[in-house]
A = this chain, B = another copy of it.
Amino acid sequence: MPNPTACLLIIGNEVLSGRTQDANLKFIATRLGEIGIPLREVRVIPDVRDTIIETVNAVRARFDYVFTTGGIGPTHDDITAECIAAAFGLPWEPHPEAWALLEASYARRDPPAEFNAARQRMATMPRGATLIDNPVSVAPGFIIGNVHVMAGVPRIMQAMFEGLVPKLAGGTPVQSLAVHAHGLMEGQLAEGLAAIQARHPEVDIGSYPYYRPEGNGVALVAKGTERAALEAVAAAMAELIASLGFTPVQGEPG
């Protein structure tokens, strides 16, 4: 059975304007590969109602899993939850469990903080949403249909994601094996590498040149779900490098 597929939506003007370096894509991509739900597409979109609704509906129909980051705080630009409710054609309304969690959390503070209208927005969700636990700062994410809505702050997103993992029906983990060679150029090995790829269509072979003060080179990376095929490809890549007069080194360049 093929692995389920995933799409990530990064929602937020701050990434599109260049203010903020996204730190969520790499984490989510890596973790999803480990649980056999490879990430197939990422879209970064602004805090614009129509764009969020249209994009959510486009991707939830195409991928098994959709993950979103950003836009679930208390301020005017946090419109992810209401847009996702609109995308699903569901009411956006107080979620009893989230409401109780947040109300109690603000009451517990010293001094107690007001559970005001802005904070109540964080407990307002599409009807029928299942909560995603937030062990860092209480305000939960949620799941509706195949869409998993998480915070944009990396520390909070990561905690939410790890709580979510046991609930995801993953597939066969994606593994990788790398071989690299200092001094080698892509143009020298491209033909041989294409031949290896043609013999192993079940493995995804990538070639990545690197440019470093201590010297340039190429890293070859084989990714796939079948260990034996990865090992065969890694051996063939090492042999190709050696046949060109360079020294193959296991793993990515350090």
Q: What residues make up the interface of A, taking CB atoms closer than 8 Å to B?
A: 10, 13-22, 25-33, 38-47, 51, 73-77, 113-114, 116-119, 121, 153, 155, 174, 176, 185-187, 189-191, 193-194, 197, 204-209, 211, 221, 223
Taking the nearest CB of chain B, how far is it from the CB of A56, in angstroms? 14
Whether the pair B25, A191 counts as a contact (CB closer than 8 A) is: no
Cβ contact of A193, chosen from B44, B75, B153, B190, cutoff 8 A: B75
Whether the pair B18, A30 counts as a contact (CB closer than 8 A) is: yes
Whether the pair B16, A209 counts as a contact (CB closer than 8 A) is: no
With contact pairs A43-B41, A44-B42 given, residues A194 and B14 touching in the complex (Cβ less than 8 Å): no
What residues on B are CB-neighbors of A118 within 8 Å?
Answer: 186-187, 190-191, 194
What residues on B are CB-neighbors of A44 within 8 Å?
Answer: 25, 41-43
Whether the pair A223, B17 counts as a contact (CB closer than 8 A) is: yes
With contact pairs A43-B42, A44-B42, A190-B118 given, residues A206 and B77 touching in the complex (Cβ less than 8 Å): yes
Taking the nearest CB of chain B, how far is it from the CB of A13, in angstroms? 6
Determine how many copies of this chain the complex contains: 2
Whether the pair A174, B211 counts as a contact (CB closer than 8 A) is: no
The CA of A40 and the CA of B43, in the complex, are separated in Å by 11
Residue of B nearest to A155 (CB): B211
Cβ contact of A77, chosen from B19, B76, B207, cutoff 8 A: B207
Given A19-B208, A19-B221, 19 additional A-B pairs, CB 8 A: A13-B204, A13-B206, A15-B25, A16-B38, A16-B41, A16-B42, A17-B39, A18-B30, A20-B26, A22-B22, A41-B43, A41-B51, A43-B43, A74-B186, A76-B190, A76-B194, A77-B206, A119-B187, A153-B211
